[in-house]
Structures are given as structure tokens and as C-alpha cells.
Amino acid sequence: MPERTLDVVVIGAGPAGLSAALILGRACRNVLVCDRDTPRSWASKAVHGFLTRDGIKPTQFREIARRELSRYHNVKMLTVEVTRARKIADGTFEIALGMRRVKCRKVLIATGVMDRLPRIAGIERFYGTSVFHCPYCDGWEVRGKPVAVYAKGESAVEMARAMTAWTRDIALCTNGSKLSKTDLLKLRRNDIQVCEQPIRHLAGTGGRLEAIEFEDGSSLPRAALFFDTRCSGQSQLAESLGCRFNRRGGIRCGRYEATDVPGVFVAGNIIKDVQLSIVAAAEGARAAFGINRSLSREDFDRRSTGRRRISHPAVTDA
Ligand SMILES: Cc1cc2nc3c(=O)[nH]c(=O)nc-3n(C[C@H](O)[C@H](O)[C@H](O)COP(=O)(O)OP(=O)(O)OC[C@H]3O[C@@H](n4cnc5c(N)ncnc54)[C@H](O)[C@@H]3O)c2cc1C
């Protein structure tokens, strides 16, 4: 027997996808949430800056969210990778979960991004404890301490400048890359030390950074390192459906996180806007609002004109 068409498939159960699922569940929609369990925050010890949840472990955050969602029988969660998503002739979507296929009327892609760690020997040992990418997430814990910023090219000054809110003891490390004279002057005038020599490795114990050791034999005591390297999308599902990119390299969306492809919505870090969990959750809620509104309008208009429905909305297994 063919499977019933779902209202929505949410791909990705990070803060964005989980938040969307809650709003959609409460709007009486049949929702399937698919997640392959590779969150961006895999190395993080605590989620900071999420009102009422400041400092919670990311695993606990997801557990609470899943527990809250379990109250809604119309929201199902699957640990599975979505391997393909395509629009089919009747305007619905076919979502491939390995060998299995499901059909849905709207898709929310909340598959996030993954960070690329700088190529520095031993950096994995410190990632999430004293090596970070986001000062808004982890800057407070090292405020006023000696901090290194790892960045190159145009983003180097930007990242060093951003860090000045948290400490005045900043060393910008470019790992062999040279800065322009103008940038060097700006940095010097802001008392930011510049180390352009190549890095040999990071030194410290128990995940706590103590010093940065350079190829030339010098060593710089530091309590933390913040890096600015590119992150990449965790999936190409949005691109494969025909979604376009924004200027930041994220997926372009408009009102209520609707993409250029009708029926496809995005939320969370995939948009590459402010990359905080609370913002991802808010984008998820907004996308859910847009999706529900669109489903209600379609059904209302179809009934108004007396046309046949192409798929089955709303909850049936109450
Ligand atoms: C070290 C570190 C520390 C951080 N600290 C903080 C902090 O203190 N405060 C804060 O606000 N933010 C913090 N962040 C950022 C935070 O993790 C992100 O803002 C947030 O996770 C983004 O949520 P999201 O839902 O967009 O993506 P994610 O949380 O990354 O979730 C995306 C989900 O999609 C799933 N997925 C991907 N592709 C597929 C597929 N094809 N099929 C099925 N599932 C798929 C993944 O498995 C993943 O679970 C930190 C990040 C890192 C790396």
C-alpha cells in the first residue's frame, strides 16, 4: 500500500529543525523529522546564550527538545540520512531515506553546516574546550585573558576586531600568511599583536591550551584560540532541489524562510546568517509558520474552488 503523503518532512534535528517540528506539531500537521546525528556542535561542552538554557550540554538540549516533541503523536522522529529530495509531477516531494521513500507536501531543510578546523597539529585535542570559532558562544569564559585569533586575508582584521569586546590581550596568528601594511598599522594602533610565522603546534593539557609554538622556536602563552575558517553545508539537498545561494554562501530565502523553490523552506545555519542556536531555533519557528500558512491557504483555496486535493493534509492518527 502506498504511504500516506505527509504534510512536512523536516531534514535535520538541530535547534532549527526541532523548533520547526514543535510549531508544526502544535499546528496539527503530520511531520516526519529525519536526522543522521551529526550536529555542528559535536565538540561543544555547553550551549551559551540561549535564554533559559545558558550553559546546558548540547546533548541535553536535544534530549529535552525530543522529549517535548514526543507529546505530539503527529510528529515522528527517525535517525536516518536523507540521501535525495526531488519534486514530483503532482507538486509534492519524494524524499529518499536510503532504500525507503516518503512523500510530503513541503520540505524544511535544516541540515546546518560543519566547521573546517585550521590545519594545526594537535588542534582536535583542544577543540570545544579552549579552541573555538565563535566569541559570542565561548568568549565570556575567556574574557580578559590572553587569546589568539587564527585568521588569514580579509577576515583577519575583522576577526581580531570582533574579539576586542572580550579581551584586550589579542595575538593575531596568520600561520605564514602575510598581511597588508594598512592592516598591520590598524592592528598595531589597536594593540593587537601580530604573529605571521608558521605555527608548529598547540601545547597544553586536558584540552586546555597553554601556548602556541611556532616553527621558528618561539612560543606564545595563550588561554584560548578563536579561528575563522570556512564552514561548509552538511548536505547539498537544497542545491539539488534548485535553491539559490545568498551573498554569504548560504541558501537564499525570503519571508518565512521560503526559498526560490516553491514548497522548500530552510532554517538554521544553512542560511549562514547569525549562527547562534537561539537564532537557528527562531528561524525554524518562522519557517514552520510559513509552511503551515502555505498549507492552510492551499487547502482553503482548493476547497473554495471545489477542486480535488492532491494530497492529504492534517492529522489522521489521533
Ligand atoms: C564548538 C562549538 C560551540 C558552539 N557553541 C555554541 C554556543 O555556545 N551557543 C550557541 O548559540 N551556538 C553555539 N554553537 C553553534 C550551534 O551549534 C549552531 O548555531 C546550531 O547547532 C545550528 O543549528 P542548526 O539546526 O542549523 O544545525 P545543526 O545543529 O548542525 O543540526 C543539523 C542537523 O542536520 C543533520 N543532517 C545533516 N545532513 C543530513 C541529511 N542528509 N540527512 C539527515 N540529517 C542530516 C545533522 O545530523 C544535524 O543533526 C557552537 C558550535 C560549535 C561548533
Asked if residue 203 is part of any domain, the answer here is yes
Asked if residue 311 is part of any domain, the answer here is no
Tell me what the mean pLDDT of segment 118-129 comes to: 94
- Say whether both 87 and 36 belong to one domain: yes
pLDDT band at 236 (very low <50, low <70, confident <90, very high): very high
- Say whether both 17 and 89 belong to one domain: yes
CATH number of the domain that 167 lies in?
3.50.50.60
pLDDT in tens, 268-296: 999 999 999 999 999 999 999 999 999 99
Asked if residue 212 is part of any domain, the answer here is yes
Q: Which of the listed residues 95, 113, 234 should we mutate to test ligand 1's pocket, taking the one with most ligand atoms within 8 A of CB?
A: 234
- Say whether both 249 and 192 belong to one domain: no
- Structural domain span for residue 190: 117-227
- Say whether both 127 and 168 belong to one domain: yes
Predicted structure pTM score: 0.94
pLDDT in tens, 150-180: 999 888 999 999 999 999 999 999 999 999 9
- Say whether both 148 and 291 belong to one domain: no
- Say whether both 223 and 89 belong to one domain: no
Location of C-alpha cell 504511504:
3
268: left (phi over 0), alpha (psi -120 to 50) or beta: left
- Say whether both 122 and 106 belong to one domain: no
CA 39 to ligand 1 center in whole angstroms: 4
CA 12 to ligand 1 center in whole angstroms: 9
Closest-CA residue, ligand 1 atom 44, reads: 35
- Say whether both 150 and 297 belong to one domain: no
Q: Which atom of ligand 1 is nearest to the CA of 47?
A: 8
Asked if residue 85 is part of any domain, the answer here is yes
Asked if residue 103 is part of any domain, the answer here is yes
Domain count of the fold of the chain: 2
Asked if residue 317 is part of any domain, the answer here is no
- Say whether both 245 and 178 belong to one domain: no
What is residue 306's predicted lDDT score, i.e. its pLDDT? 82
What is residue 314's predicted lDDT score, i.e. its pLDDT? 37
- Say whether both 64 and 106 belong to one domain: yes
What is residue 309's predicted lDDT score, i.e. its pLDDT? 56
Asked if residue 291 is part of any domain, the answer here is yes
| Final residue in a domain of this structure, among 196, 227, 258 | 227
| Final residue in a domain of this structure, among 227, 248, 263 | 227
Closest-CA residue, ligand 1 atom 39, reads: 111
| Final residue in a domain of this structure, among 227, 247, 266 | 227
pLDDT in tens, 180-197: 999 999 999 999 999 999
Asked if residue 297 is part of any domain, the answer here is yes
- Say whether both 104 and 247 belong to one domain: yes
pLDDT band at 225 (very low <50, low <70, confident <90, very high): very high
Cβ neighbors of 304 (< 8 A, separation 6 or more) are: none
CB contact at 8 A, 301 and 314: no
Distance CA 159, CA 123 (A): 19
- Say whether both 58 and 127 belong to one domain: no
